[in-house]
Structure 1
Amino acid sequence: MNARQGLQLLRQHQRTTFLVASGLSTAGSFAGLTAKGWLLLQGSHNPLLLALHFAMLTLPTLVVSGPAGVLTDQWGSEKVLIRAQWGLFAAAVLGAIAIPLSQGGLQALLLLASTLGVGTASAYELTARNKYCALLVDHPDGLGSYLTSFSVVFNVAKLVGPPIGGLLLAGTGPFAALALDAASYLVPIATLIWLMAPNADAEERSQRGQQASLATAWRDCGADLRRVLIFCALACLFGFFHPGLAPLMADQLLGPSPQALGLFTSVIAAGSITGGLWLQRRAEHLSRRPALLLGGSTLVSGLAQIGLGISPHAGWGLAMAFLIGAGTACLLSGTNLILQVRSPQVLRGRMAGLGQIAFLGGGGLSGILAAGLSLKTGIWPTFVLLGCLGSALAIWELASQHQKRLA
């Protein structure tokens, strides 16, 4: 097979090609985040700094997800997606060059700035990618399954990325892990420019003006999708698993080594993969039953947090981490699934932005809340408290909305 035939084959299977490219860049990203988290933990042992690091990744969504959704609906998803990938590459390069050029407080500041850049560009990338996926499927009924397949690929990358980061940290130092993170973003950039052939004519764009605003999307999406957004935001605020504290949790549960952190995050990722596969096979059915999908996911995650906080021992703790990963993945991927499949195509960029504000913004605030509480009560009592709040919210949603079906 020559090079031209290989390119034609990749274009014929463009959905799979795009999934693989996204997975490779995500694996590199998690290797880099693992390296950054470990460096910050070793430099300070301060849970607030770890929470701030995760907040740098998630809280930009509160500011830029809305404009990202508006821009995606106006410019088109492909144009925004390619520019967002270049932004991710530049932010990752900043993290890599911080290692040889700085140390101490300046290095920590540059690492946080790098993560802030990744979080900002990711808001645009995720928003545009959600709408872009509809241009790759042959039939609208296939959209739900394709969207949820990104959750599976994302969590597979989350499974392999942290061990790679831990091995590179232990073997060659943090620069290699962060350099891999930066280089991995070149894969989706090349894929989008040279290998993809989306059905651009199928994309509906909004016009400039008041009707293209985020407020218009909030109003026009309907009461059912507004409830989905509100529940997701509350579930993330009060019962979200706090990945920014993962280095501290792994340290107390398994030990202070990079390999311990890699094992802990990989177990969470294995649970997320399991939850993502379960959701993918039931995407069409569950997208019609938001209370069952989102309330059930939140309940699983909340009860697992309680179990982890009550008995933080290695084997039991890893089992609870697996359930936390499964519940959290279904909550986040399920919210995105419902918002995309059940909203008009012209609103999907803005609905993706609203979804990011709900789950990443809420999760970032929750991480800061958890870090503050852990300084006063300890990490495990904090997990019990927030797990109880998340479980109560889930039970209320299941009891009050279990009969609700979306058209």
Structure 2
Amino acid sequence: MTAPPLRLEQQRSLFLVASGVSTAGSFAGITAKGWILMHGSAEPLVLALNFAALSLPTLAISGPAGVLTDRIGCERVLVRSQWALLAAAALGALAIPLLDGTAQVLLLLGSTLLVGIAGAYEQTARNKYCSLLVNHPGELGSYLASFSVVFNVGKLVGPPIGGLLVAATGPAWALGIDATSYLLPIASVMFLLRPRRDQEQRSAPGERASLSNAWQDCGSTLRGVLSLTALLCLVNFFHPGLAPLIAERVLGPSPQDLGLFTSVLAAGSIAGGVVLQRNSDRFCRRPFLTLGGFGLVTSIAQLGMARSPGVAFSLAMAFLIGAGTAGLLSSCNLISQIGSPQVMRGRMAGLSQIAFLGGGGLSGLLAAALVMVTDLPTTFAISGGIGAALALLWIQRRSDQRLEPLRSA
């Protein structure tokens, strides 16, 4: 006797939990791999390359991933990318017992690069897949926003899990456990979830299915959403690569100080995601007020960091930076999904990632250059001042503009 199929709301909860487990595993693996590379090479450049290998492929691959998702279907891309994530993570685990020295470092970096590529496809396909797990369009916004909360919870609990695994089981087992965390979402999608496949709309082959066509056809409001997100990310996106420097200046040089600082940032990100999740429908209807508001929160917090009168105040500003940044990125993704037709949601997910990863990546380089030329407080003051001016300008000019979500999920 077979068990009855899960209801859609149960399927949504299962997919969310499975994604959360794999997210925590990913951050645990990143932490473990960073520890291995640091003790294996002691070269800051290697750590920078590891972070770049994870993040830069998303910028380059998100567009093609969106086109493929709309062409062949989100479920097929999702399953393939999850298997690719498992294989890439397992490759990193095998590097520990099989190799040493430079060869081990190169294989670990290669594993990270493959995780970054597969992750771009997985994230793009997952956005569109979520629309097949809701009963009506009004549920989609809240459900998509829930992934922001899950992502940031994984970012909060994953690193200490990774550290504990390295200490308790050794680096090879830590990376192996990270790889196995992908089995839960794979099993869920393949055997337990029954999305409304008949509701999916796929694009036909040809020029009309291109990324540039999605940009042209999405409408002036969504183009404005993507443009504003890219601008705000370019000006005042908090770049993770600067976290050790900021933590040292604000708190101190010890690993515990860095852990406290990143935990406060993650807690702020969770809070920003919860606010968006609980107000998703209302926030989506006023896109520029929402994006400008989250951008303004981040800018004010950066101006506060420029003053930094004390540790408690600086940590409070770090919490607001986490909340504002998470709210901005999640809002862009949420609004672009809610406001676009089903047939182009894969490509819109790709465009959203390009907007905030492109802007955020350049922002980190600009911020690092400013710190080298001036100092950290001045960098915060410049970034926060320009960001606040941009956010206020867009709020003043377009805060009344509304976006009506499409009736079809």
By the TM > 0.5 criterion, same fold? yes
Q: 2:206 aligns with which of 204, 209, 214?
A: 209
Moved more, 338-347 or 313-322: 313-322
Task: Please give the residue correspondences for 1:219-234 in structure 2 after superposition, counting only pairs within 5 Å.
Answer: 219-234=216-231
Rounded to whole Å, the distance in 2 between the matches of 1:275 and 1:228 is: 18
1:75-116 residue CA offsets vs partner (Å, 9 max, x unmatched): 000000011111212222233334445556555444433322
Pick aligned residue for 2:339 from 333, 339, 342: 342
Mean Cα deviation higher: 277-286 or 313-322: 313-322
SS at match of 1:59: helix
With the length of structure 1 as denominator, give the TM-score of the two structures: 0.90
CA contact (8 A) 1:34 1:262 kept: no
**How many residues matched?**
403
Alpha-carbon shift at residue 235 of structure 1 (Å): 1.3
Among 373, 384, 390, the alignment partner of 1:393 is 390
236-245 vs 21-30, which deviates more?
A: 236-245
Moved more, 256-265 or 242-251: 256-265
Name the counterpart of 2:242.
245
Matched letter for residue 319 of structure 2:
F
The one-character-per-residue Cα deviations of 1:116-152 (angstroms, maximum 9, x if unpaired) are 2222111111111111001000011111111111111
Compare 381-390 and 146-155 and name the one that shifted more: 381-390
Distance 1:390 1:36 in 2: 34
Q: 2:297 aligns with which of 275, 296, 300?
A: 300
Q: Is the 8 A contact 2:298 2:384 kept in 1?
A: yes
Q: In structure 1, the residue corresponding to 2:403 is in which secondary structure? A: coil
Query: Given residue 283 of structure 1, which amino acid in structure 2 is its aligned partner?
Result: S
SS of residue matched to 1:13: helix
- What displacement does 1:209 show? 0.4
Tell me whether 1:13 sits opposite 2:10 in the alignment: yes
Partner in structure 1 of residue 181 of structure 2: 184
Instruction: For structure 1, list consecutive stretches of 5 or more residues without a partner in the other structure.
Output: none
The residue number in structure 1 matching 2:273 is 276
Separation in structure 2 between the aligned mates of residue 365 and residue 105 of structure 1, nearest angstrom: 29
Match of 1:113 among 96, 110, 113: 110
Alignment of 1:23-34 (within 5 A): 23-34=20-31
Q: Quote how far apart the aligned CAs of 1:258 are.
A: 4.8
Check 1:323–1:367 CA distance in 2 against 1; reply closer, same or farther (3 A cut): same
Q: Deviations over 1:170-212 (max 9, x none)?
A: 5555444433322211111111111110110000001000111
Give, in angstroms, the shift of residue 334 of structure 1. 0.3
Query: Structure 2, unaligned stretches of length 5 or more?
Result: 405-409
Q: 2:145 aligns with which of 145, 148, 157?
A: 148
C-alpha distance in 1, partners of 2:31/2:309? 22
CA contact (8 A) 2:273 2:330 kept: yes
Identity fraction in percent: 63
Quick one: which amino acid aligns to residue 77 of structure 1?
C
How far apart are the structure 2 equivalents of 1:393 and 1:37?
A: 36
CA deviations 1:30-87 (Å, max 9, x no partner) are 11223344555665474x6655443322222332111111110110000000111112
Distance 2:310 2:170 in 1: 29
Q: CA RMSD in A?
A: 2.6
* Equivalent in 283, 286, 290 of residue 287 of structure 2: 290
